[in-house]
Amino acid sequence: MSEDRPAPGTMRPRGRTERVRAAVLAATRAELEAHGYAELSMERVAEIAGVAKSTVYRRWRDPVGLLVELIADLSSSEVPLLDTGSIEVDLRGLAVGIHRFYNDPVRRPAMLGLITAAVLDPRAAQALHDFFRTRNDLAAESVRHAIERGDLPPDTDPIQVIRSVGAPFYYRMLVSHEPIDETVAEQAAAAAIAAAKAGAYTVRPDQKG
């Protein structure tokens, strides 16, 4: 790991900080996989990571802090974003990626734990808000290109199209407690495209800005 090699004359704080972070995240993943969010314990994570408890408390404060860090780490690469020139392919790919993300034994409890915490914890709510704003904005790039190609109405709100691909998964996981499967992914993408094409997600001039 080249980041761990100290530059001449430095104390390599970055390397040590990064190693602690990596160990704590790996321990958090392992604990979530074994016991779920309800049992996530700062003490256990510190023990498994081989890091002083005081360090874990100082840097992450509580289980929410661990989840916030873990989710930023997990998801940056794990739901691939397509931009193929076909909005059908791109959104189906996004829906399948979300489906896979939530069929994973670590990612699902990590994200649902953060969502749960965020109902009451403003720090977790802000982390979720920022995370989805960034993610949805990246994913919306393919929608912007579809609008440019003339495949969707010119006043379409690209972020709203992306939100609507994700929404059915959260509804089933959190609200109606129904399984998510490939049919959900298929319908989520098909519905987002049909609604966008019909102009359901166009922004009126008075709603802009």
Binding site for a copy of itself (CB under 8 A): 36-38, 112-113, 115-116, 118-120, 125-126, 128-129, 132-133, 136, 160, 163-164, 166-168, 170-172, 174-178, 183, 187, 190-195, 197-201, 207
CB of 167 to a copy of itself, least distance (A): 4
Contacts of 89 (CB under 8 A, 6+ apart): 82
Question: Residue 24 is encoded by which pair of tokens?
Answer: 């704590």
Q: Which residue number, 7 or 38, has a Cβ lying nearer to a copy of itself? A: 38
Cα–Cα distance measured from residue 53 to residue 43, given in angstroms and rounded to the nearest whole number? 6
Q: Which two tokens stand for residue 44?
A: 């256990």
Q: How far apart are CA 194 and CA 88, in angstroms?
A: 10
For residue 196, give the nearest of 149, 148, 147 by alpha carbon.
Answer: 147
- Taking the C-alpha atoms of residue 86 and residue 26, their distance in angstroms, rounded to an integer, is 37
Q: How far apart are CA 107 and CA 113, in angstroms?
A: 10
Minimal distance, residue 65 CB to a copy of itself, in Å: 17
